[in-house]
Chains A and B, each alone.
Chain A
Amino acid sequence: MRANGEPILRAEGVVKRFGGIRALDGCSVEVRRGTITGLIGPNGAGKSTLFNVVSGLYVPDRGSVFFDSRRVDGLPPYALVRMGLVKTFQIPRELRNLTVMENLLLSAKSIPGESLPRFVFQYRAGRRREREIQAKAEELLEFVGLYRLRDEYAKNLSAGQKKLLELTRALMSDPSLILLDEPVAGVNPTLAARILDLVSTLRDQGRTIFLIEHDMDVVMNRCDWIVVLHQGKRLAEGAAADVKRDERVVEAYLGA
C-alpha cells in the first residue's frame, strides 16, 4: 500500500459554521505524501467546505490545518499557493475573456512583472521569466492536448476542455499538493480517462492528489486511500476494499 508516507496535509478538529449550520464539525483528516487520496461522502457532508478551509478560501472557526508540518489555517490562498498547495473548482472557473495561454501564464508563481516597480526596473529579468513560464505552459498544453487551443478565449472551450484547463492551470504553480473538486464530473468517458491517467502520472511524479469524487468506480480504482465524511466529521478511512465493506459507510453513503 502506498499510504504509508508521512502526512503532507493534516486537519485537526476543524469547525466551520455558516449561520446555524456546522458544515464542518470537528473534522480531522490526514493526507499522506505521494498518494491519491479520495474524499467521499453524501451531499452536504462538508467535502467542499473542507477543501475551501484547507486552501485558505475559508478561515475555520476552530481547529487547525498543517501543510508540510507548518500551521497554515488563516493564511491567505496566495501564501498557500506559494508553499505548493493549489485547488481547482468543482465548476470550472476559467477566466473567460482571457486566452487559454493567458489563463496558464497567470497561474504561475514568482512572476516579477506582477509588481509594477519590478516590471519597470527589472524589465529584462521579467521578460526572461515570462519566456520561461510560457515554455512551461506550452509544454503542459501539449501534455494535456490543449496546445492548438492556446490562443482561444477560455469561454469558447467545451465543458470537458474547461475541466482540463482548470487542472492544467493548477499545475502551472508546480504544486506538491493538488486539491481536485470532482475532476471528472460531467466529462465524457474518453476525456475522463485521460484526466484520470494524468492524475496518476502526477502522483507518479511525486505529487500528492486529494480529490472529491462521486463516481465510485473512479474512487475505488484510482485512489490509494479513501476518507469518508459524514455530517462534517470523518466517518471512516482506509483502502478501497476496507471502506467498501465498512457498514457505517454503506449505510451513510454507498447504499446496499
Chain B
Amino acid sequence: MSAVPAYLVELANFLIPAAIFALLALGLNIQWGHTGLFNGGVAAFFGIGAYTAAILMSPFSPATRFYPGHLGGFSQSFPVAAIGAMVVAGLAGLLIAIPVLRLRADYFAISTLALAEIVRLTLTNARSWTGGAQGVILIPRPFVVPGDYPLSTVYLAGLVALILLLALWLLEFLGSAPWGRVLRGIREDEEATLALGKNVYSFRLQAFVIGCVLMGLAGAVFATYRGFVAPTQFDPAATFTIYVMVILGGSGNNKGVIIGSFLFYAFDWISVRVDDKLPDELALRMPYIRLMLIGALLVALVVYRPEGLFRERKRTFRAVRRS
C-alpha cells in the first residue's frame, strides 16, 4: 500500500506528460518562435530521443518467438540516458539541417516532415534493433521505490518539473543574449539580417540543433515515464499538436508556450475523463469531436489572437548616455 495520497499521484500523472509537451514546445519555440524555422519533424526528434534513452536504460532483452529483441542491455541510469538522447537528437538535427537548412522555408518544412515519416518507418522496420512494432519494453525509472510504484511517479514528477524549470531558465538566458537578437532578426527578415552582416546560416543551424536537443530530452523523459516506446507514439501528425501549443501560448514567449502546453494538455486530460461519463454513443465520437474543437481553436486563435495568449515581450533599454 502506498503512503502517497491519491491526488498527489494524479497530479504527478498530469504534470509529467504536460511537462513533456512543454519541453517539446520550448524546443519548437526556439526554432519557430524565435528563428522562424518551420520544423515539420518534431515527432522525429522526440522519437529519436525516446528510443535512444530506451535503448540505453533497458536491460538485455533477447529475441524470442514473440519479441524481435532490440539493441541494448546497457542498463544505464536516467541521467546518462537523457544526455545520450540529447546528443543523438542533436546530431540527427545537425545532419538533416546541414543539407536542407539552405533551402527555402517551405522546402525545409517538407524535408523535416519527410524525416519524421522516415524515422517512424525505420523504427517499425529495423526490428532487431528497435523491437519493431512492439517497440522497446521494460524501460526502468529513476528513483524506484520497491513496492511503491506511485511514490516513484511522484519523485519522477519532481525531477521532470526541475528539468523543465532548468530548460526555461537556460532558454531565457540565451534568449537575452545578443545571440537571441540575431535569431529574432532572422525570423523577421532573413535577407536583411544577412545584409546587416550576420552569418544567417550558422545562427539558424545553432537554433535548430538546440531545439532538437530539447526535443530529445523530452523523448528521454517520455521513455522512462511510459516504460515502453513504440513507433505509433511518434506519429508525424503529432508535430502539429506542438504547433498548436506554441501558437496558443504565444510564439516567441518561453513562459507562454509552457502555459500553452499545460492548458492544451489540461483540455485533453479533462475531455478524456469526461468520456467516461458520457453515453456510449457520444463517447465513441469524442476523439473526433476533440479534434474538431482543436481545429476550431486553432482557427480562432490565428484569426483573433495570432500572437497567442501571452505575446512576446518587448525589450526596452534604459538609456546609457545622458543627453
A contacts, CB < 8 Å to B: 55, 57, 76-78, 80-82, 86-87, 89, 93-99, 101-102, 105-107, 109, 111-116, 119, 126, 130-131, 134-135, 138-139, 142, 147, 150-151, 153, 169, 173
Contact = CB atoms under 8 A, between A and B. Distances in A.
A239 B83 CA distance: 67
Contact of B178 (A86, A89, A114): A114
A106 B182 contact: yes
A153 B313 CA distance: 12
B235 interface: no
A76 to B, nearest CB: 7
Nearest to A151: B316
A72 B314 CA distance: 38
A134 B320 contact: yes
Contacts of B195: 55, 57, 77, 81, 86-87, 89, 93
A254 to B, nearest CB: 31
Contacts of A113: 177-179
B179 A77 contact: no
Interface stretch (B119-127, B130-138, B184-192, B294-302): B184-192
Contacts of B177: 113-114, 116, 119, 126
Q: Please provide the 10 A-B residue pairs with the shortest distance between their CB atoms, ordered closest to farther.
A: A81-B197, A113-B178, A93-B192, A95-B188, A119-B177, A151-B316, A78-B197, A107-B196, A113-B177, A114-B178
B174 interface: yes
Contact of B197 (A82, A97, A139): A82
B197 A99 contact: no
A134 B317 contact: yes
B191 A57 contact: yes
B193 A119 contact: no
B196 A119 contact: no
Contacts of A76: 194, 199
Contacts of B317: 101, 134, 150-151
B314 to A, nearest CB: 7
Given A111-B178, A114-B178, A98 B188 contact: yes
Contacts of A102: 181, 184, 315
B191 A107 contact: no
Given A77-B195, A82-B197, A102-B181, A135 B320 contact: yes
B321 A135 contact: yes
A153 B314 contact: yes
Contacts of B1: none
A116 B178 CA distance: 9
A29 B224 CA distance: 66
Nearest to B174: A116
Interface residues of B, number: 30
A57 B184 CA distance: 20
A142 B174 CA distance: 30
B323 interface: yes
B197 A119 contact: no
A114 B193 CA distance: 13
Interface string B81-101: 000000000000000000000
Nearest to B178: A113
Contact of B185 (A77, A98, A126): A98
B181 A106 contact: yes
B301 to A, nearest CB: 18
Contacts of A94: 189, 192
B173 to A, nearest CB: 9
B206 A169 contact: no
B321 A106 contact: no
B255 interface: no
Contacts of A86: 195-197
Contacts of A173: 196-197
Contacts of A97: 184, 187-188, 312
A93 B192 CA distance: 6
Contacts of A114: 177-179, 181-182, 198
B192 A78 contact: no
B286 to A, nearest CB: 39
Given A81-B197, A95-B185, A114-B178, 20 more contacts: A87-B195, A93-B192, A95-B184, A96-B189, A97-B188, A99-B316, A101-B317, A102-B181, A102-B315, A106-B182, A106-B185, A106-B193, A107-B196, A114-B177, A114-B181, A114-B198, A115-B179, A116-B206, A134-B320, A153-B314
